[in-house]
């Protein structure tokens, strides 16, 4: 596609439920990133993929968070047993190999009630 696409754009879920957030990067982009942005705050790094591998998972907040990427394309971020503190905008970005810019999706706004 023309840009990074994330779905859903908005998700309201009950505390304790599992959610899956999807990211479709720009075709041909080998690097993919997930960030979390709480209301009024900066970007919190979650995980980075190079191809289908995740060399850096250091930002995942707890074992309730996991992510995978397949076919060097789509990535899914899964949050199990959601908590209210998980409420945030989850941003995905992708970039080509090399020191090129990262392109961001519009994000998924997750609200845990």
Partner 1 sequence: GNSVTQMEGPVTLSEEAFLTINCTYTATGYPSLFWYVQYPGEGLQLLLKATKADDKGSNKGFEATYRKETTSFHLEKGSVQVSDSAVYFCALSDPVTGNQFYFGTGTSLTVIP
Closest approach, Cβ 66 to partner 1, in A, equals: 19
Closest approach, Cβ 45 to partner 1, in A, equals: 7
Among 26, 69, 82, 105, binds partner 1 (CB under 8 A): 105
Which of the ranges 19-27, 67-75, 76-84, 93-101 carries the binding residues for partner 1, by CB under 8 A? 93-101
Contacts of 68 (CB under 8 A, 6+ apart): 52, 75, 76
Q: Regarding beta strands 108-112 and 10-13, do their DSSP bridges make them parallel or antiparallel, or are they unpaired?
A: parallel
**Among 38, 19, 47, which Cα is nearest to 88's?**
38
| Cβ neighbours, 10 Å, residue 105 | 21
Bridge-partner residues for 37, per DSSP?
89
Give the three-state DSSP class for 66.
strand
For the window 25-44, what string marks contact with partner 1 as x by the rule CB under 8 A?
A: ------x-x-x-----xxx-
Closest approach, Cβ 88 to partner 1, in A, equals: 14
**Binding of partner 1 at residue 48 (CB under 8 A)?**
yes
Site residues (vs partner 1, CB under 8 A): 31, 33, 35, 41-43, 45, 48, 50, 55-56, 91, 93, 95, 97-107
């Amino acid at each position: 596609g023309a840009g990074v696409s994330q779905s859903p754009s908005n998700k309201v879920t009950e505390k304790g439920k599992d959610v899956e957030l999807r990211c479709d990067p720009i075709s041909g982009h080998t690097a993919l990133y997930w960030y979390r942005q709480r209301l009024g705050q900066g970007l919190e790094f979650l995980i980075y993929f190079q191809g289908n591998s995740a060399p850096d998972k250091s930002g995942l907040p707890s074992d309730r968070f996991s992510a995978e990427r397949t076919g060097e394309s789509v990535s899914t971020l899964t949050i199990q047993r959601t908590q209210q503190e998980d409420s945030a905008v989850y941003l995905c970005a992708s970039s080509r190999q090399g020191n090129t810019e990262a392109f961001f999706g519009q994000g998924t706004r997750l609200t845990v009630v």
